[in-house]
Amino acid sequence: MRDEESYAVNGKEVTDGAFEKDMEKPLDVNKLEPFGNEETAEVKYRTMKWWHCGMLMIAENVSVGILSLPSAVATLGMVPAAIMILFISALSWYTGYVIGQFKLRHPEIHSMGDAGELLMGPLGRELLGLGQLLLLIFLMASNILMFNILMNVLTDHGTCTLVFGVVGLIICFLGALPRTMDKVYVMSVISFLSVFVATVLTMITVGVETKGHVVNQVTTEVSFREGFLAVTNIIFAYLAHVAYFGFMSETEDPRTFNKSLAMLQIIDTVLYLVSALIIYHYVGPDVKSPAILSMNPLMSKIAWGLSIPTTILSGVVLGHVACKYIYVRIFRGSDKMHSNSFLSIGSWVAICLGVWVVAWVVAESIPVFNDLLSLISALFGSWFSFGLPAIFWLYMNKGRYFQNWKKVVLTITNLGVLAIAIAICGLGLYVSGVAIHNDSTNQSWSCANDA
């Protein structure tokens, strides 16, 4: 007979067995926060199926950045890069699973800010809430910058880059107007199809264009700084965890989250691994980042054109999460959240406009943007995707770390994950700091071609 293990669920102590039995019962969504009872609500939020959630997670995680992975393979070598992709995937899958378990034990959590309040009180709420918002806004800004580059390539710098930025801002703002995530689901499907077709086209094109013998390196000799920068490209391809609480909050049954997570991890890992290795195999050590630049000018333009939907829509998904955090923070516990009144709709539109304008200003204002994005990602992304899930597990199992051999293994595992997060954060800050120091300052708010 095994020992019963207790958990804190919504402030109450329950055993493992009791929690498992409760998980088998029909879910009473009316007890869930932050949206409360939606039986008679004018606007319902908990409407997504597990595959809707999965597609949103894929759209948030997989975008044009996938085509930067072949250059990481060129830096690390085929075998180390493949091992690193599989390792980070497994780590990301596990930490995503822990976030799902933490949400089920604390249904009131809607954001990292809510989780921070549970762990550290009001200070934790503001710290993690601000960190989540900053990370999302900077990622949104990177989508606007990518849109600028796309349009400059496709039009041969047909007009001032600032004009392209405004066009990107308007399109993203309009895409963010639906208040519920199930409405964004269709956009997520289009986003995935866009990046999938662009990636397949790139693989086929570089295979056809390959001339002569390409030297593929199984392993390479590389400096620590260059190697770690390549590793961060792989790590940052799995930093979707910041939105998991929000996605779970808008599913019909949050207990189906593991299916959504499996859908994400299987699709993105297969796509990352196959595309990175195949493109590197045909192009070789000189592969550019993104790999689209390694094709002839005509095919490169076609691939960039196919990437427009994912460039915009992945930003829309990120923007929706950022806007929803603010919206729920303002109207939590109020009927206005479920209303189609002028105040409710007007507030949502104003929040969307404000958040996207801030992201646009960030995109146009920061000279060495990629370095600063790496800095923010190292500072917050490493914790949201790896460090905090480990802390969530330690919080849920407080006082029972060495209760049996399974707990000992899991305790060591989560302490290891926490150590990895600290290393990613510390080394990422170092590498980003050196890059910011070494890179020359470019002119901000410029009409110049940034392609």
* Span 12-34, pLDDT tens digits: 444 555 444 544 444 444 444 67
Average per-residue pLDDT for the chain? 86
Please name which of 421, 418, 394, 392 lies closest in space to residue 407, comparing C-alpha atoms: 394
pLDDT value of position 43: 86
Angle (CA) 408 414 416, round 5°: 100
pLDDT value of position 11: 42
Q: Give the mean pLDDT of 194-199.
A: 94
**pLDDT of 276 above 60:** yes
Please name which of 346, 418, 384 lies closest in space to residue 135, comparing C-alpha atoms: 384
**Cα–Cα distance for residue pair 410/393, rounded to 1 Å:** 9
CA distances from 133 to 37, 153, 239, 326, 385 (A): 27, 30, 14, 9, 15
Q: Which residues lie closer than 8 Å to 373 by C-beta, 6 or more apart?
A: 138, 139, 141, 142
**pLDDT of 3 above 50:** no
Q: Which residues lie closer than 8 Å to 252 by C-beta, 6 or more apart?
A: 29, 46, 47, 48, 49
The domains of the chain, with CATH numbers, are 47-366 (1.10.4160.10)
Sign of CA dihedral 338, 58, 54, 95: negative
Please name which of 130, 45, 102 lies closest in space to residue 393, comparing C-alpha atoms: 102
Tell me the percentage of the chain whose pLDDT exceeds 90. Answer: 54
**Cα–Cα distance for residue pair 21/372, rounded to 1 Å:** 47
**pLDDT of 344 above 60:** yes
pLDDT value of position 64: 79
Per-residue pLDDT band at 442 (split at 50, 70, 90): low
**Cα–Cα distance for residue pair 422/250, rounded to 1 Å:** 31
**Cα–Cα distance for residue pair 363/327, rounded to 1 Å:** 23
Structure tokens at 139: 């990622």
**Cα–Cα distance for residue pair 317/175, rounded to 1 Å:** 9
Q: Give the mean pLDDT of 24-46.
A: 65
Structure tokens at 117: 């309040």
pLDDT value of position 181: 86
Q: Give the mean pLDDT of 343-372.
A: 87
**CA atoms in the 13 A half-sphere facing the CB of 282:** 18
Find out whether 177 and 349 touch, Cβ atoms under 8 Å. Answer: yes
pLDDT tens string 396-427: 999 999 999 999 999 999 999 999 999 999 98
Find out whether 356 and 141 touch, Cβ atoms under 8 Å. Answer: no
pLDDT value of position 65: 78
pLDDT value of position 63: 85
pTM: 0.88
Q: Which of 148-157, 291-300, 327-336, 436-445 has the lowest mean pLDDT?
A: 436-445
Rounded CA Rg of the chain? 22
Cis peptide before 285 (omega within 30 of 0): no
pLDDT value of position 290: 84
**Cα–Cα distance for residue pair 180/340, rounded to 1 Å:** 12
Length of the chain: 451
